[in-house]
Amino acid sequence: MLGTIAVVLVVLWLLGIVTAYTMGGFIHILLVIAIVVILIRVIQGRRL
């Protein structure tokens, strides 16, 4: 499930690059949060 969320956020982030003047900042924040969550899970020893 976390992988699905990460993929959706990456797609939204790519759309955010195209529409950087509207929602780009918000989507970049969501992407950073998703990456941090994935790193925490990897550090704790869980597989993706």
Domain locations in the chain as residue ranges: 2-43
pLDDT at 6 over 60: yes
CB 4 within 8 A of CB 38: no
pLDDT at 13 over 70: yes
The pLDDT of residue 16 is 66
d(CA 25, CA 4): 21
d(CA 9, CA 4): 9
CB 35 within 8 A of CB 10: no
pLDDT at 18 over 70: no
Percent over 70 (pLDDT), the chain: 69
pLDDT at 30 over 60: yes
Q: Which residue has the higher pLDDT, 46 or 25?
A: 25
Q: What are phi and psi of 21, to 5 degrees?
A: -85, -10
The pLDDT of residue 40 is 84
